[in-house]
Amino acid sequence: MSSTPQKPVGLIDYGMGNLGSVLNALGRLHVPARIVATPDALADCSALILPGVGAFGDCMKNLAAHGFVAPLRDWVLAGRPLLGICLGLQVLCEGSQETPGVPGLGLLSVVCRRFVPAPPLKVPLIGWNPITFPGGAAPAHPLFDGIPPATHFYFVHSYYLPSPDAAPALASCAAALSLHTVPYTAAIAFRHTAAVQFHPEKSQAAGLRLLKNFLSWSTAPQ
């Protein structure tokens, strides 16, 4: 009896994103993956990854131009697995101070803010930064299973999601925090959706562990 082939993880290609590095990371985990350039191809995917680099407004413009805005929103609202990376986290929000007046996907009731430089800390944040977990020393969410507090991940960003203390709407979904001039939310998770401000594909062993955790968590019954 032949088994049903596993559907691949889809990497959303909308003209902005570090697709090659993410594909390589999934390859190291022996996870079948494909680049998805049209909404019609989403049905053939088991989960989606939304990477992103660049400006918030350009990202939303490109997502709209490729026809992904409504399908991505519907995908998340239907409880299907999605991982946002860097700008792929920020566009889940209502908007960003980077491009006032440009709406995001509106799945998180918060607006991204810009870091204010506080010497010697510079903006943008580029490099390794440690994470912590809300409410205690141990991770409360399976996205971070096997990843201890103070683990460093690789960040590149000038805008951020506020901490749950500053944005109560994030209290139920903040999965990790970090600090750069101010405390901020470094990862969120709800239903089968997760998103991280850092780049797991550039974060060595910890990043690979997070990707593996996402795929295990997102396919588990909830």
**Three-class SS of residue 95?**
strand
- 199 is in which domain, residue-wise? 9-218
**Three-class SS of residue 44?**
helix
Residue 209: the pLDDT is 97
Residue 222: the pLDDT is 56
Is-contact 61 25, C-beta < 8 A? Answer: no
Is 211 inside a domain boundary? yes
Domain containing residue 85: CATH number: 3.40.50.880
Evaluate if residue 2 carries a pLDDT over 50. Answer: no
Mean pLDDT (whole number) for 90-97: 98
DSSP structure class, residue 172: T
Tens digit of each residue's pLDDT (9 = 90 or more) over 116-125: 999 999 999 9
Is there a catalytic annotation at residue 173?
A: no
Is-contact 63 92, C-beta < 8 A? Answer: no
Which residues have C-beta within 8 Å of that of residue 22, sequence separation ≥ 6?
11, 33, 49, 51, 85, 201
Confidence of residue 219 (pLDDT cuts 50, 70, 90): confident
**Catalytic residue from among 59, 98, 192, 201:** 201
Mean pLDDT (whole number) for 139-167: 94
**Catalytic residue from among 45, 86, 93, 173:** 86
Of all helices (H) and strands (E), which one includes residue 84? strand 82-85
**Three-class SS of residue 70?**
helix
Overall domain count for the chain = 1
Confidence of residue 81 (pLDDT cuts 50, 70, 90): very high
Is there a catalytic annotation at residue 45?
A: no
Is 124 inside a domain boundary? yes
Three-state SS sequence of 51-66: CCCCCHHHHHHHHHHC
Is 122 inside a domain boundary? yes
Is there a catalytic annotation at residue 94?
A: no
Is 2 inside a domain boundary? no
Evaluate if residue 1 carries a pLDDT over 50. Answer: no
Evaluate if residue 135 carries a pLDDT over 50. Answer: yes
Is 1 inside a domain boundary? no
Is-contact 123 171, C-beta < 8 A? Answer: no
**Three-class SS of residue 149?**
coil
Is 26 inside a domain boundary? yes
